[in-house]
Amino acid sequence: MSEANKALVQRWFEEVWNQGNGEVIDELLAQDAVIHGLIDGAGNPVTGASGFHDFHQQFRGAFADINVAVEDVIAEGDRVVARCHVQGHHTGDHLGIAATNAPVDFGGIAIVRIANGQIAEAWNQFDFLEMNKQLGL
C-alpha cells in the first residue's frame, strides 16, 4: 500500500502541478478532502475537489511554468510525506497582484492521508513567505 500511496502523491505533483492537468484533480482528490495550509477566498482551508480547482487555477494562472520537484517521499500506512522544491516565474495576475515576472524558488512539505485511492486530507507547509518576499511583497 505504501508504494501505491507514494506513486499517487508523485503523480499528483507531476500531473496536477507540473503538467497543469486540472482534470486529474477529480480523480486523485476526494470530494470532501480538506487541504490544510491552503486557504480559499474566505480564509478557510481549501475543501474538496471543487475548492481545489479554484486554488489550482489561481496559482497556475500566476505561475504558468511552475515546477514542483519531489525530492523525498516517505510513506507509512495511509500517510505520505513529500519534501518539495518549487520554482517558477510570476507571469500572471491571478493572485490579486500584477505579474512581476520575478522568479520564485522555495521549498515545502506536504503530508497526505490517502483513503480509498484518493487524497482525503493534506497538511501543507510551503514557504509562501519566501515566495512573497521574492515577489517584492
pLDDT in tens, 106-129: 999 999 999 999 999 999 999 999
**Helical segments of 2-122, H only:** 2-11, 23-28, 48-62
Instruction: Please give the pLDDT value at position 95.
Output: 82
Strand-pair category, 67-76 with 79-89: antiparallel
CATH number at residue 19: 3.10.450.50
pTM, two decimals, is: 0.93
Confidence of residue 94 (pLDDT cuts 50, 70, 90): confident
- DSSP assignments along 6-40, one per residue: HHHHHHIIIIIIIS--THHHHHHEEEEEEEEEEE-
**Residue 1 in this model has a pLDDT that exceeds 80:** no
pLDDT in tens, 24-41: 999 999 999 999 999 888
**Residues of the domain holding 54:** 2-134
> For residues 128 and 49, what is the distance between their CA atoms, to the nearest angstrom?
22
Number of domains in the chain: 1
Q: pLDDT > 70: what percent of the chain? A: 100
Instruction: Please give the pLDDT value at position 16.
Output: 97
> For residues 67 and 84, what is the distance between their CA atoms, to the nearest angstrom?
10
Instruction: Please give the pLDDT value at position 73.
Output: 98
